[in-house]
Amino acid sequence: MEHPENSEMYKGLTVNKGIEQPSIVNPYLKLRKKPRRREFSVGEYVEGIVKGDVTVLSQAVTLVESVKPEHQAIAQEVIEKSLPYSGKSMRIGISGVPGAGKSTSIDVFGLHVLEKGGKLAVLAIDPSSERSKGSILGDKTRMEKLSVHPKSFIRPSPSAGSLGGVARKTRETIILCEAAGFDKIFVETVGVGQSETAVHSMVDFFLLIQLAGTGDELQGIKRGIMEMADGIVINKADGSNIEKAKLAASHFRNALHLFPVPDSGWTSKVMTYSGFYGIGIKEIWDMIDEYFAFVKANGYFEYRRNEQAKYWMYESINEHLRDSFYNNETIATMLAAKEEEVLNGRLTSFVAAKKLLDAYFSTLK
Ligand code: GDP
């Protein structure tokens, strides 16, 4: 029987015969399997990237973001071979709390810088993306005009790992983008503290987007972030908000006077603008161009890039040591027990750490 459910045994249950399905509309359509994405060799990746092939670039960035050791091995080689072609861009960090107008602004900033030619990559660092499994920062759908611009490349934040790991991947992506001829790089982040430090460690200019608030707008801003900013711009200076934005700008200017002049010798500028209505955009970018000319003339540009390179060497060492330690099998089996002993007061934290480290080092011998 076609439908055993219709047997006498099962009362109250009848299953109707299905209707015959029509054949496919186009009999000539071959139902093919989706071809597997071809894997490139290191040489092919580098060649494609240097030629500016965005498909190859995207695939290489995916390798950079992958946690698989075999992907990482290729990625590291591709990065190393791309390095000689990198370094020649304006790297600009853009930060602001959610709702500050980052996506609206990046869209207009992007179009503005592309007017003069060149290519723009928009990357992101979003420390929350680890939990939410995927980031909205740097998402194409948020930047309507830029996302369809032929000279732009938009990539959301890498999502796996610690903030340090996410930041490293973005930094490595910068190198690949530069090798692919992107001469302007925006790195977007949310204004939550630590992620700003990460972005600051990989850009030449750090732009902080603020809003005019209720009069105590300075309260919420951590001192460290203001000190990091090379420019502070107050968004939504339009309509009835213009005066408030101007007032906020003067508060920021006064607050900045309290900080010592930074190493760059550049005093942060404070400006108002409207991303939505496109007011004051040119002035902001003239200021940023002025900054680049200033720090290139006084040597700070080189100095900051060198300091960043040094910082990333140590960050990279730290990350690898940490990974090696926590992925070590001996450590993995001991860790929970030692943690328990510390919590029970049977071991001090220092003794527990020493025992774990000794065990780790003895596995290396
Ligand atoms: P993000 O979360 O920082 O990326 O902010 P969005 O760019 O998504 O902007 C948040 C909201 O503010 C949106 O509703 C925008 O339309 C609005 N907005 C952005 N820029 C301006 C502006 O210059 N003026 C006004 N009035 N609204 C703006």
Q: What would the mean pLDDT of 250-258 be, rounded to a whole number?
A: 87
The CA distance from 14 to 12, in Å, is 7
> Which of the listed residues 195, 211, 276 should we mutate to test ligand 1's pocket, taking the one with most ligand atoms within 8 A of CB?
276
Cβ burial, residue 164 (10 Å; 0-12/13-18/19+): middle
The CA distance from 99 to 211, in Å, is 9
pLDDT for the residue numbered 107? 95
Q: How far is the CA of 274 from the centre of ligand 1 (A)?
A: 9
Range of lowest pLDDT (26-35, 126-135, 226-235, 248-257): 126-135
pLDDT for the residue numbered 217? 55
Give residue for tokens 């951590």: 222
> Which of the listed residues 102, 104, 157, 195 should we mutate to test ligand 1's pocket, taking the one with most ligand atoms within 8 A of CB?
104
Q: Is-contact 174 185, C-beta < 8 A?
A: yes
pLDDT for the residue numbered 165? 79
**pLDDT tens string 139-178:** 667 888 999 999 999 998 887 567 777 888 999 999 999 9
Task: Kindly compute the dihedral angle of the four CA atoms of residues 334, 336, 340, 342, in this order, to the nearest 10 degrees.
Answer: 60
Name which residue leads in pLDDT, 208 or 8: 208
Q: What would the mean pLDDT of 337-347 be, rounded to a whole number?
A: 94
Q: How far is the CA of 214 from the centre of ligand 1 (A)?
A: 17
Q: How far is the CA of 103 from the centre of ligand 1 (A)?
A: 7
How much is the pTM?
Answer: 0.83
Q: Is the CB of 274 under 6 A from ligand 1?
A: yes
Q: Is the CB of 275 under 6 A from ligand 1?
A: yes
**Domain residue ranges of the chain, discontinuous segments joined by +:** 85-298, 313-364
pLDDT for the residue numbered 193? 67
Q: Is-contact 128 144, C-beta < 8 A?
A: no
The CA distance from 100 to 208, in Å, is 10
For the 85-298 domain, the top CATH level (class) is alpha beta
243-264 burial, b at 16+ Cβ within 10 Å, e below that, comes to: ebbeebbebbeebbeeeeeeeb
The residue whose CA has the least distance to atom 19 of ligand 1 is: 101
Q: What percent of the chain has pLDDT over 90?
A: 60
Name which residue leads in pLDDT, 81 or 129: 81
Range of lowest pLDDT (77-91, 188-202, 266-280): 188-202
DSSP codes joined into one string, 306-329: HHHHHHHHHHHHHHHHHHHHHT-H
Q: Is-contact 338 347, C-beta < 8 A?
A: yes
Name which residue leads in pLDDT, 192 or 342: 342
Residues, the chain: 365
Residue 125 has pLDDT above 90, yes or no: no
Residue 253 has pLDDT above 80, yes or no: yes
Q: How far is the CA of 236 from the centre of ligand 1 (A)?
A: 7
**pLDDT tens string 276-294:** 999 999 999 999 999 999 9
Q: What is the mean pLDDT of the chain?
A: 87
Strand order in the sheet with 269-272: 152-154, 120-125, 184-190, 90-96, 205-211, 231-235, 269-272
